[in-house]
A = this chain, B = another copy of it.
Amino acid sequence: MPVLDALESLAELAPIGADDVRGGWSRHLLDDADRQMRAWFVRAASSLGLDVEEDANANQWATWAPAGAEGPAVATGSHLDSVPGGGPLDGPLGVVSALAAVSRLIAEGHAPAHPIRIANFAEEEGARFGVPCLGSQLLAGDIDTDRVRGLTDASGATYVDAMTAAGLDPAAIGRDASRLEDMALYLELHVEQGRQLAPLEAPVGIATSILAHGRWRVTVTGRGDHAGATELDSRRDPMLVAAATVEAARGRALAAAPPTRSRATVGKLQVVPGGSNAIASEVRLWIDARAEHDADVRVLVARIVSDAEAAARAEGCELTVAEESFSTRVEFDPELADRIGAALAPTFGEVPRIPTGAGHDAGILAAHLPTAMLFVRNPDGVSHSPHEGASDADIRAGVDALTDALRALTGDR
Contact = CB atoms under 8 A, between A and B. Distances in A.
Interface of A: 19, 21-24, 26, 83-86, 125-127, 130, 132, 156, 193-194, 211, 213, 215, 223-232, 234, 237, 239-240, 242-244, 246-247, 250, 253-254, 257, 263, 265-269, 271-281, 286, 288, 290, 356-359, 381-387
A202 to B, nearest CB: 17
B86 A273 contact: yes
Contact of A22 (B272, B288, B386, B387): B272
A230 B272 contact: no
A277 B24 contact: no
Contacts of A273: 19, 22-24, 26, 83-86, 384-385
Copies of this chain = 2
A276 to B, nearest CB: 4
B279 A286 contact: no
Contacts of A127: 275
A225 B382 contact: yes
A127 B22 CA distance: 21
Nearest to A213: B228
Nearest to A263: B232
A83 B223 CA distance: 15
Given A232-B263, A246-B239, A250-B232, A271 B268 contact: yes
Given A246-B242, A246-B243, A272-B85, A230 B277 contact: no
B232 A243 contact: no
A188 to B, nearest CB: 15
> Which residue of A263, A266, A267 has the most chain B CB atoms within 10 A of its CB atom?
A267
